[in-house]
Amino acid sequence: MANLLEVQQATKQFGDFTALQDVSIQVPKGSIFGLLGPNGAGKTTLIRIINQITLPDKGSVYLDNEPLQPQHIRDIGYLPEERGLYKSMKVGEQALYLAQLKGLSKTEAKKRLKYWFDKFDISHWWDKKIQELSKGMAQKVQFIVTVLHKPKLLIFDEPFSGFDPINANVIKDEILQLRDEGATVIFSTHRMESVEELCDHIALINKSKKILEGKVTDIKRAYKSNTFEVGVLTENNTDLYTTLQGKFDVTPANFKTIDDQLKMKITLDNNTSSNELLQYLSSKGQVMRFNEVIPGVNEIFIKTITENE
Amino acid sequence: MSNLKLIIKREFIARVRNRTFVVMTFLSPLIMVGMISLIAWLATLNNDEIRKVAFYDETGLFSTDFKDSGDVDYIDYSHLTLNDAKDSVVIKKLDGLLYVPKKNSNSELAKSIQFYADEAPSISILNRIEKIIASKLTNQNFKEKGLDLDAIENSKAKVNILIENFSGEKTSKMSSYVKMIFGGLAGYFLMMFIIIYGNMVMRSVIEEKSNRIIEIIISSVKPLQLMMGKILGTSFAGILQFFIWVILGGVLLAVVSSVFGIDPQPAGIDQSMAMQGDSQQEIQLILQDIMKLPLGTLVLSFFIYFIGGYFLYSSIYAAIGAAVDSETDSQQFMLPIILPLMLGIYVGFFSVIENPHGTVSTVFSMIPLTSPIVMLMRIPFGVPWWEVLISMLLLIGSIIFITWMAGKIYRVGILMYGKKPSYKELFKWMKY
């Protein structure tokens, strides 16, 4: 798959402080790309470089195989983490203003704004001032302004902060729909469950360096340890547990059940397949649960970061 | 529409719609005209009040000299005793008692005249009394020396030097006042404009920063573009405001002076003009002086220095706005703006008027931060074209340099939150 965005060895220093060190990422066309990392890792600096707000000291950025140029600003929609609107300006006016800054004509901007305002059912806000709206309401307007000019690349920095669960869901669906319509999305967040749900690629940045990048499925495959979570209903739980301990790497597991199962995590060596284990277990009792433990993004995140400390 | 135009338009509309701006636009001329009328009215009130001064003259010399005049009435208490005279002054609540004792010689007398009063009388009244006594005594002295008073009066010469330049054009003595007023007004106007609208630029930058809209905007436009748009939009709003002030103020002033019959012109000018022998001719000469000012150069250089000076300072204002989080924090960076502005005004009002082509005036009309004000004040006095050229080139050069520097600080500053930067840090930002 072709890459919409490629950052090659971007380095940025602020005085003595290194914000980014030789960071490269590849964002495939049509993907939702999660940019993860602890606070102060350099995510915002990388995003600002892509938006041409900050220039890198070294390295280069390609959008659609062209070196990044000023006119590419119009191909990008950016919703920054620190976002706000003019307090004393009317909602409609400033949405129009921001849309025009992205190169839309006034009539076109009006048409598209009407579509989005109707879609979100907020047309009656048009003549209100931002100071009359709540934070979540203002965020909706910001979201519309970000996507209005139909950019090829959308960058969202913590898009769900400030939204209640219902509205967060609305926004999530919109993001997915935009992806389906052909946009590529870069997504920076600390909320791992939304990464799990949305992203198909991720990159992990820590202390100004990229430490992990790839397809979510590939990364998970690399991080899984052939471990299975098992629940068996037997006559004698301790008996089976000790027997298994002799054969595999077994640890007790904890999940909720309604009956008294033997709960454990079994890590297989390369010589045993999961089918063999299942056959063995079913001969010993009634297998109630048998599933592979796949590490969550959250786990991978914490594990890689602590390993890199 | 290009982004710069859009930004200018938004800034202009945002400024003009601001409630304080609207109120100030329409209230300021009202207040100004109101103040002028009030002062004029108070001045006439003051003139109506008649002071009553009693005098006790033991010499009998002055009984005919103290004549009631305008705002002072004289009452002769010489027939009473001194104590009675004092008492009656107190009882009748007169403004004072002048005591002229009997002395052997005029020189002794001159030193021993006294004025009794609860409150010190106004200096102008005292001056007048002193003048009356002095001229009386002088005349007495002349008589004693056997001089003929009429002869002395006739032999007094009146001198009025006619000023003419080497190409034969006549000018009035008011000429340098006219030049001073023109230059002073231009310089003062520029300073006010810079302070008022520079501050507005700064506030608008701080507003964008504290609203957190700044990052949304600069993902669409270049920071320098935004800064320029802000400065231009605000200045257009400022020019509009000044136009309204001038027109509204002029109309109001005309209305007020015709309705109340008050001449709002400062009384001083009228009097000094009236005192001139041939006032008609003098006024003509003044008009001639105004016409003879290098008006073309004046207007042209006014625009160049005005725009240049405003740009120079407002980009510094913008950089300060970007560096801080709130208006209160901006105080620590105000010195580099206020100091040169004040210096310019002081040099202008002291050095330039004293000696428009002296070293101090010349040097300060070259230094870019003070040159707009000082040079504007010097130009009416005639400045060699090459000096103006050097000064303008320096100004343009430093505008480019300072805007570039301010742009760098602005670019970094608008994305920095939380910490109050020091000058050292600002310097570091320029290198990012």
**Mean pLDDT, 10 residues at a time, over chain A (309 residues)?**
87 86 92 89 90 89 90 90 86 92 91 92 88 85 92 91 87 92 90 85 90 88 86 83 83 83 85 86 87 86 83
Write out the DSSP string of B258-280: HHH----S-HHHHHHHHHSTTHH
B178 is a domain residue: no
CA–CA dist A198, A291 (Å, integer): 23
Least confident of B97-106, B254-263, B276-285: B276-285
B26 is a domain residue: yes
Q: What is the CATH number of the domain that holds A60?
A: 3.40.50.300
Same domain, B153 and B99: yes
Same domain, A17 and A81: yes
All residues of chain B having their beta carbon less than 8 Å from the beta carbon of residue A70 are 222
A214 is a domain residue: yes
Task: Using the Cα atoms of residue B396, residue B398, residue B404 and residue B409 in order, give the sign of their dihedral.
Answer: negative
Which of A55, A101, A104 to probe the B interface (max B CBs under 10 A)? A101
B43 is a domain residue: no
CA–CA dist B420, B414 (Å, integer): 13
pLDDT at residue B192 greater than cutoff 80: yes
Same domain, A167 and A202: yes
Same domain, B236 and B272: yes
Same domain, A250 and A152: no
A121 is a domain residue: no
Q: Quick one: residue A42, left, alpha or beta (phi over 0 = left, psi -120 to 50 = alpha)?
A: left
Residue B130 corresponds to which amino acid? E
Least confident of B124-138, B365-379, B395-409: B124-138
Average pLDDT over residues B56-72: 77
The alpha carbons of chain A give a radius of gyration, in whole angstroms, of 24
Q: What is the pLDDT of residue B178?
A: 76
Q: What is the pLDDT of residue B46?
A: 64
CB-nearest to A80 from B216, B222, B428 is: B216
* Closest residue by Cα to residue B234 from B403, B1, B8, B2: B8
A189 Cβ neighbours under 8 A, 6+ residues apart: A34, A36, A156, A157, A158, A159, A160, A195
Which of B12, B13, B213, B221 to probe the A interface (max A CBs under 10 A)? B213
Same domain, A190 and A211: yes
CB-nearest to A100 from B1, B18, B219 is: B1
Same domain, A76 and A160: yes
Q: How confident is the model at residue B272 (pLDDT cuts 50, 70, 90)?
A: very low
Subunit contact B211:A78, Cβ cutoff 8 A = no
Q: Which two tokens stand for residue B424?
A: 């050292």
Among A221, A237, A257, the domain boundary falls at A221
Same domain, A208 and A172: yes
Same domain, B277 and B355: yes
Neighbour order of strands in the sheet with A184-188: A76-79, A153-157, A184-188, A32-36, A201-206, A209-215
Subunit contact B6:A101, Cβ cutoff 8 A = yes
A231 is a domain residue: yes
A137 is a domain residue: no
All residues of chain A having their beta carbon less than 8 Å from the beta carbon of residue B222 are 70
A169 is a domain residue: yes
Same domain, B247 and B124: no
* Closest residue by Cα to residue B173 from B267, B292, B289: B289
Q: Which two tokens stand for residue A55?
A: 């220039």
Residues of B in CB contact (< 8 Å) with A are 1, 3, 6-7, 10, 14, 18, 207-208, 211-213, 215-222, 415, 417, 428, 431-432
All residues of chain B having their beta carbon less than 8 Å from the beta carbon of residue A151 are none
Residue B222 corresponds to which amino acid? K
Q: How confident is the model at residue B379 (pLDDT cuts 50, 70, 90)?
A: confident
Subunit contact A101:B415, Cβ cutoff 8 A = no
Q: How confident is the model at residue B368 (pLDDT cuts 50, 70, 90)?
A: confident
Measured N-to-C along each axis, helices A135-147 and A91-101 cross at an angle, to the nearest 10 degrees, of 30
Among A221, A239, A262, the domain boundary falls at A221
B167 is a domain residue: no
Same domain, A156 and A250: no
Shortest distance between the Cα of A299 and any Cα of chain B, in A, equals 32
pLDDT at residue B268 greater than cutoff 60: no
Task: Determine the structural domain holding residue B13 and report its residue range.
Answer: 3-31+183-429
CA–CA dist B213, B206 (Å, integer): 11
Same domain, B11 and B57: no
A184 Cβ neighbours under 8 A, 6+ residues apart: A4, A5, A27, A28, A29, A30, A31, A32, A33, A152, A153, A154
CB-nearest to A83 from B18, B216, B222 is: B216
Q: What is the pLDDT of residue B350?
A: 83
CA–CA dist B245, B117 (Å, integer): 47
Same domain, A150 and A288: no
Long-range contacts of B120-123 (CB under 8 A, 24+ apart): B121/B51, B121/B53, B121/B95, B121/B96, B122/B51
A127 is a domain residue: no
Average pLDDT over residues B346-354: 82
Same domain, A68 and A154: yes
Q: How confident is the model at residue B152 (pLDDT cuts 50, 70, 90)?
A: confident
Shortest distance between the Cα of B188 and any Cα of chain A, in A, equals 33
Strand, helix or coil for residue A25? strand
Among A167, A199, A221, the domain boundary falls at A221
Structural domain tally of chain B?
2
Same domain, A213 and A265: no
CB-nearest to B220 from A14, A85, A102 is: A102
Alpha-carbon A274 to chain mean position: 31
B171 is a domain residue: no
Average pLDDT over residues B45-70: 76
Task: Determine the structural domain holding residue A154 and report its residue range.
Answer: 3-85+146-221
CB-nearest to A84 from B212, B220, B428 is: B212
Subunit contact B216:A51, Cβ cutoff 8 A = no
A72 Cβ neighbours under 8 A, 6+ residues apart: A52, A63, A66
Same domain, A166 and A285: no
* Closest residue by Cα to residue B100 from B131, B122, B78, B120: B78
pLDDT at residue B19 greater than cutoff 90: no
pLDDT at residue B247 greater than cutoff 70: yes
Subunit contact A82:B218, Cβ cutoff 8 A = no
Q: How confident is the model at residue B267 (pLDDT cuts 50, 70, 90)?
A: very low
CA–CA dist A138, A125 (Å, integer): 10
CA–CA dist B113, B104 (Å, integer): 13
Report CA dihedral (B167, B170, B171, B173) to the nearest 10 degrees: 120
CA–CA dist B152, B277 (Å, integer): 21
Strand, helix or coil for residue B345? helix
Structural domain tally of chain A?
2
Residues of A in CB contact (< 8 Å) with B are 14-15, 48, 51, 53, 70, 73, 76, 78-80, 82-89, 97-98, 100-102, 106, 142, 145
CB-nearest to B219 from A53, A89, A97 is: A53
How many angstroms separate the most distant Cα atoms in chain B? 97
All residues of chain B having their beta carbon less than 8 Å from the beta carbon of residue A80 are 215-216, 219
Most confident of A55-64, B37-46, B281-290: A55-64
Subunit contact B212:A78, Cβ cutoff 8 A = no
Shortest distance between the Cα of B401 and any Cα of chain A, in A, equals 21
Q: β-strands A153-157, A76-79: how paired?
A: parallel
Same domain, A243 and A184: no
